[in-house]
Structure 1
């Protein structure tokens, strides 16, 4: 029997704090050049680097949580299909807003490729859309779901440096050599980490979430410690974007 549905305040706080820092990080772009330095500026830059992972992880958490709860609340296949359709509508809304934001900045009618420019909203939308079949099928089995989500995250982070040399058309979606700001590799990995935590929360409540947050933070610290090994493991690549050890540093700080 799954715990009674309730909001998980830690994720609500994570979203709220991320919103504040999202506003702050965009405001920093307006700073005069001579003000871009010093201890406070550097500290804010470090915090700003956690905003995107926090948002993306929270999105994966919510998706898995709702899918598992929907499967547990009703054995009715029609009810689950309705939940699936509702989820698809929400993902379509996320992708639509992402396209509208791109429309604000780019001539999408003259150059339609800008419609699906991989900024954070399209990244979240496509990452969840790709994971949705697995989330839907495994939702009645939250234990299997969280391990499947963890395996997906490991695959995404592990393959990211190998995808960096890819050229067109893949570089528009999988690395930063094209138009992508938040390519699926490695950023989709945070969605799947969030899905693993969400499945654990749906099954075991706050205790399950705490255990998985602690476990992921512990694993991240170990991977972070072996940064030189992970750097040498792959061909030359952009460490601060693609390297699994750098991703581990980010998810560790978000989980803590």
Structure 2
């Protein structure tokens, strides 16, 4: 695959993960509870469980590949630095906007209970991605040597895996502010704390090293083959260790390092398979690539449509919560996926053809929302 194709196999996996993520949120929220007891739902649940690892892994890998082009500019706090920092800021902004209990600063301050603040400070996948990318950005500026930077990414992966079980046993809110405590474990309902989810971000950053080397040496096929072989080995070793070889007390550790290895293996195999799929398609184009490139918008918008009280004061999830059969839930899911694909295509086209318009539309929407938030 030519370098000019911007590692499309990574974008393809990220786009696929986002589409499945929409299915996770929509289909699972609306489906009748008794249907979730069916034999096939466990398999769907496993597939759905790969979404967040794939999303975080590809985010870390793509970020490092992009940073490789302008390291010198980063260290001078040049245009590229502010561009990357502003994008990370946008991810943080989108992340916390999804958890605001009231779209009114006055109401938020007047109802600043522990429950409401905890709802606002809950850490989801976007916060974890943004914080992980911020660390990678700082590390890329601090470590001038490429080898040191990638070693840092590898060491961070190991630290997250090894300290995860300990971190999940501590109520950090007793020692540090709740805002920061929620990043460390699920004790106060954070769905994606940095333990273990940073592990996927930093492992993605680390594996980017080998892709860069392969691309430079025209050895991408060998890289893809290794991804598949090692990925399959990781997957089966994780399954065997957790389900067969480890004693019950060790298999019950949460979060388990072999939980990470098992899912990392699937992601690596899929990534390698994606390279082979695109090998003879130099001009490949797919709506999944548009979804991947507009991942933040797609993620944020579909959750707003699903959970915000915009349908006569009620949310779509509230109206149809646990009420639909497989066909009905599938239809709603397909409609949501199709809508997000159209949005990604239209917005991506506007950004390419009318970048100034897209920038001012973004500023107007964010500015208008902020004014509404502080004045209501």
- Normalising by structure 2, report the TM-score: 0.58
| Cα offsets for 1:167-219 (capped at 9, x unmatched) | 13265221111131101100010000111122332343235853663575267
Q: 1:229 to 1:42 in 2, by over 3 A?
A: closer
Distance in 2, matches of 1:127 and 1:204, equals: 25
Cα RMSD for the two superposed structures: 2.9
Distance in 2, matches of 1:30 and 1:77, equals: 45
Hey, what does 1:19 align to over in structure 2?
18
Q: Structure 1 regions of 5+ residues with no counterpart? A: none
- CA radius of gyration, larger in: 2
Tell me which moved more, 161-170 or 118-127.
161-170
Hey, what does 2:53 align to over in structure 1?
53
Preserved CA contact (<8 Å) 2:235 2:262: yes
Q: Runs of at least 4 residues of structure 1 off by over 6 A?
A: 77-80
Residue 16 of structure 1: CA displacement?
1.6
Tell me which moved more, 189-198 or 101-110.
101-110
Residue 254 of structure 1: CA displacement?
1.3
Preserved CA contact (<8 Å) 1:220 1:248: yes
Preserved CA contact (<8 Å) 2:101 2:108: no
Of 117, 123, 145 in structure 2, the residue corresponding to residue 118 of structure 1 is: 123
Q: 1:230 to 1:80 in 2, by over 3 A?
A: farther
Residue 9 of structure 1: CA displacement?
2.0
In structure 1, the residue corresponding to 2:169 is in which secondary structure? coil
Preserved CA contact (<8 Å) 2:157 2:199: yes
Distance in 2, matches of 1:102 and 1:50, equals: 23
Preserved CA contact (<8 Å) 2:165 2:253: yes
Q: Structure 2 regions of 5+ residues with no counterpart? A: 270-376
| Cα offsets for 1:60-88 (capped at 9, x unmatched) | 011111111223xxx56777632222111
Q: 1:115 to 1:203 in 2, by over 3 A?
A: farther
Hey, what does 2:201 align to over in structure 1?
191
In structure 1, the residue corresponding to 2:136 is in which secondary structure? helix
Residue 50 of structure 1: CA displacement?
0.2
| Cα offsets for 1:132-164 (capped at 9, x unmatched) | 2212334x6444433321111111011100111
Of 130, 137, 140 in structure 2, the residue corresponding to residue 135 of structure 1 is: 140
Q: 1:77 to 1:67 in 2, by over 3 A?
A: closer
In structure 2, the residue corresponding to 1:29 is in which secondary structure? helix
Of 80, 84, 91 in structure 1, the residue corresponding to residue 81 of structure 2 is: 84
Distance in 2, matches of 1:83 and 1:214, equals: 34
In structure 2, the residue corresponding to 1:166 is in which secondary structure? coil
Distance in 2, matches of 1:37 and 1:53, equals: 25
| Cα offsets for 1:12-68 (capped at 9, x unmatched) | 111121112111111222101221133432221110000000000011011111111
Preserved CA contact (<8 Å) 1:103 1:115: yes
Count residues in correspondence. Answer: 246
Larger relative contact order (Cα-Cα within 8 Å, sequence gap ≥ 6)? 2
* 1:210 and 2:207 are equivalent in the alignment: no
Hey, what does 1:64 align to over in structure 2?
64
Residue 221 of structure 1: CA displacement?
4.3
